[in-house]
Amino acid sequence: MDIAIIGAGMTGLTAGLRLSQKGHRVTVYEKEPFIGGLASSVGAGSADTDRFYHHIFVSDSEILALIDELGLNESLGWYEPKNAIYLDNHLHPFTSPVDLLLFKPLDFISRIRMGLLVLTSRFIRDYTPFETVTAKDWIVKRSGRKAYEKIWEPLLKSKFDIDSDYVSGTWIWNKFKLRGSSRGKNIGKEKLGYMDNGFIILLEKMADYIKQLGGSISLSGEVISIRKNENGKFEIKTSAGAFIHDKVLFTGAPKLLSGICPELPSDYLAALVKIKHKANICLLLELEKSLSPYYWITVSQKDFPFVLVIEHTNLVGTGGYGSHIVYLSRYCDMTDPLYSLPEDEIISRFVDGLKIIFPDFDENNIINATLSKAPFAQPVVTLKYGSRIPDLKTPVDGLFLASMSQIYPEDRGLNYAARLGEKAANEMLADL
């Protein structure tokens, strides 16, 4: 079969690899001039790093199996992070259970309740009760209003802004569970994984295999429309021309599919459009000097320009970068005025925010700044979200959809994107 895959991110390339291995001819269409999607890379010094920050966990079995299968184990390292939280205009260590016990912004009882909430979440298997309770209500009930208002409310608002009060308890439960599982059997020590030169090396290896098996990767060709012709085959029209395929897998946001495939039923299209996403703005800074000893700083303070300060080189070392790599991340609606500001204005606001956390920070410390935007970076997981997730198989025979909005109850992540690609390939093969 001749199969088209739209999107050269982790999901699309994983599916393309599996379908190619089964003898099908795969063409991957990507509108950007590079592969990887959210896992694409940029140059930093003499090395590459992720355009948007990533790491994996010891429990990420699907992507670990893929790395092993493709012979890339030597490129994967495991590191112990040092984390902090910025709250009430101060940085507080926030890596271990001991840090929580010593966390002064909360009273002792609130600290204990918060610790128990995170600890016990890793043992909860049935997430269905959380589908009908908001993250806000669950946290307030289990750890108290003070912990919610001090810690979790600013984080939820910075991630989901106007939708934060409606986010499902399922989303925050999975976050707690994932962080707990990243410690393995040792509750006190977290381990995070990262690949030398970024996860792009895994994606490039999959793309190479697809081409070796007779497939192709078409870059800078945005898909304009998907239609079935009189012979029952799919005509994919791109900026480079029209192409014919037997089956199609679309791996972008559901809303994007609704705009290019008019043959989908109107009620199905309406359901796709209702799945909301938040955009992400990510500023990557190459610095001459380190900001702090911390890898991951959560900014739990209202009205701040970003929610995360991630000093990547505090996890993996400076290596070939020749500088200190820092990410500043912000989530917002695409309608937020910040998202449409000129690049230099966004950078200026982010740097000003950095100076608030680090008053001694000097802009002359910046070697290079790279601003990236992702319009569909985070699905908004609201109440009863599970009932609104579209099936992989669409109402149009032969057309499949596999997007990060279908990763549930887990949140988006490289591991789950790879797992979704495997699942999509298996469903397409079963359909054949």
pLDDT per residue of the chain (432 residues) written in tens, 0 to 9: 999 999 999 999 999 999 999 999 999 999 999 999 999 999 998 899 999 999 999 999 999 999 999 999 999 999 999 999 999 899 999 888 788 888 888 888 888 888 888 888 878 888 888 889 999 999 999 889 988 888 888 888 878 888 889 999 998 888 787 655 555 555 557 899 999 999 999 999 999 999 999 999 999 889 999 999 999 999 999 988 999 999 999 999 999 999 999 899 999 999 999 999 999 999 999 999 999 999 999 998 888 899 999 999 999 999 889 999 999 999 999 999 999 999 999 999 999 999 999 999 999 999 999 999 999 999 999 999 999 999 999 999 999 999 999 999 888 899 999 999 999 999 999 988
Q: Please identify which residue in the block is written with the tokens 């002792």.
A: 108
* Chain Cα centroid distance, residue 235: 31
Q: How far apart are CA 379 and CA 403, in angstroms?
A: 10
What is the per-residue burial (b if ≥16 Cβ within 10 Å, else e) of 299-332? Answer: bbbeeebbbbbbbbbbbbebeebebbbbbbbbbb
Tokens 């910075």 found at:
158
What letter does residue 38 receive in the DSSP assignment? G
159-191: pLDDT as tens digits: 888 888 999 999 888 878 765 555 555 555 789
Angle made by CA atoms 318, 73, 187, in degrees to the nearest 5: 75
Listing DSSP states for 78-140 in one string gives EE---EEEEETTEEEE-SSHHHHHT-TTS-HHHHHHHHHHHHHHTT----GGGGGSBHHHHHH
Confidence (pLDDT) at 122: 77
pLDDT, residue 121, reads 82
292 φ/ψ angles, rounded to the nearest 5 degrees: -165, 180
- Tokens at 292, concatenated: 């702090």
CATH code of 2-76+196-275+381-431, in short, is 3.50.50.60
Q: Which residue has the tokens 């198989």?
A: 393
**0.85 exceeded by pTM:** yes
- Closest to 27 in 3D by CA, of 249, 239, 203: 249
Domains 2-76+196-275+381-431 and 277-379 share a fold: no
* Alpha-carbon distances of 350 from 228, 299, 312, 343, 363, rounded to whole Å: 46, 13, 17, 11, 11
By the 10 Å C-beta count (0-12 exposed, 13-18 middle, 19+ buried), 17 is classed as: buried
- Distance between CA atoms of 10 and 18, rounded to whole angstroms? 12
Selected from 3.90.660.20, 3.60.40.10, 3.30.70.980, 3.30.1060.10, the CATH number assigned to the domain covering 277-379 reads 3.90.660.20
What does the domain layout of the chain look like in residue ranges?
2-76+196-275+381-431, 97-181, 277-379
Question: Is-contact 58 29, C-beta < 8 A?
Answer: no
